[in-house]
Amino acid sequence: MADINAKVLVVGGGPGGYVTAIRAGQLGLDVVLAEQGGKNGGLGGTCLNVGCIPSKALIHAAESFHHAVEQSRSAPLGIKVERPTIDFPRTIEWKDGVVGRLTSGVGALLKRHRVKILQGRAEMIDGKSCRIETDTGPQVVRAEHVVLATGSVAAALPNLPFGGKVISSTEALALDKVPERLAVVGAGYIGLELGMAYAKLGSKVTVIEALDRILPVYDAELVRPVARRLKALEVDVLTGTRAAGLSDNGLALEGGRSIAADKILVATGRRARLEGFGLERLDLTMNGPFVQIDERCSTSMRNVWAVGDLTGEPMLAHRAMAQGVVVAEIIAGHRRVFDGGVIPAVCFTDPEIVTVGPSPEEARKAGREITTAQFPFQANGRALSMAAEDGFVRVTARADNHLVLGIAAVGAGVSELAGAFGLALEMGARLEDIGGTIHAHPTLGEAFHEASLRALGEALHI
């Protein structure tokens, strides 16, 4: 086939890649997107196909089933349910349907903005050209600009390679039945999100964490409600414990112990996808296990850009999307830089955790004089009306001028507050700005309002 010439070649169809391509197409650029493929064509990447979206669908289904089970045991809301059951294959089918609708939507958006999609394994020839193995044969694309968006893969453990009963989050989202006994190696957000979901579906779950506490990237104050919920769900949590490998009946631990398990979910993090696309043919400066970029997302090679998980932490879809927009606009001639100072992080455990900006301790370590306060959901009417009162909203601000530095929350549904938290920091809000904003009643957002008032010594409902 004849070579294709384009202004922009995007390698990878995940959140960073497809958003780069869409925005570049909106700006009138000639764009080719290469995506290796896989289930549902691969568009949307790990996040849409085997990550963010399907995991949240499974979490929602698990929560719905668990509520029904609880109502069968007692009826505090007056709702009586008898012997609920779950058709798990049908649950997975529903989850796959959600994913399918969204991947189809991504494909339609790319086509609307005249992005040429090439399905197949892409391998860079040099910094300007790429060979793509399509179903109809090899296709060479030559482009003025190359955007690398190859994402990340689940990190395996040497003593627990994936296969058989040892699964990654990808396989955990496509099981044909709920495992009777599930061991989860790693108490980060992936392990706990899926571990709690399967506990609600009926699995006996044991979590193994090498460090001395769960969710180590979050401060202890935010983690306590999650720890309480794990205990209520009868999830066994073993901290300061390392997995040693497989045993006859499941998982062997260092020290000679073992845990009975039908499936072993290894959720010890993700690593950048550096293999399989010809990275070795590019003269790129690396930042440890990641491709090094500057504030414009440019690499050490002229007109070669990189976005998303390939470029390091935080490995978040919304970070990749924001980087993709910046790169597309720079290529189109706009003056842009990527400012990653305000990136919300959400943990979809039960209860949920959301953070934007530093914690009080992090702010103090940075030399800040701060004021901080929290407002508990036990004093929030909406939380009480949802029977979900465990948790709080916390604000951290400078002591001198009350500029808000960080906001965090833990509680049911608090992920939906992430936008308000991020906007407050981006707009340079002070405590008085939040306290002076009328928040709708009754909503969880009132706890944000009240936490700010409390930091000012003006709390109304506590």
Active site residues: 441
Compute how many other C-beta atoms are within 10 angstroms of the C-beta atom of residue 279: 18
Local structure of 281: helix, strand or coil: helix
From residue 323, how far is each of 36, 37, 298 by CA, in Å? 21, 22, 10
Q: How far apart are CA 260 and CA 68, in angstroms?
A: 28
Compute how many other C-beta atoms are within 10 angstroms of the C-beta atom of residue 257: 12
Q: How far apart are CA 326 and CA 295, in angstroms?
A: 10
Q: How far apart are CA 157 and CA 155, in angstroms?
A: 7
Q: How far apart are CA 230 and CA 235, in angstroms?
A: 5
Which tokens in the block code for residue 258? 């073992």
Cβ contact 425:404 at 8 Å: yes
* Block residue for tokens 């951290």: 396
Q: Which residues of 237-254 are buried (b: 16+ CB within 10 A; e: fewer)?
A: bbeebebbebeeebbbbe
Please give the DSSP secondary-structure letter assigned to residue 81. Answer: -
Give the contacts of 457 (CB within 8 A, at least 6 positions apart): none
Instruction: Give the CB-side neighbour count of residue 207, counting CA atoms within 13 A.
Output: 31
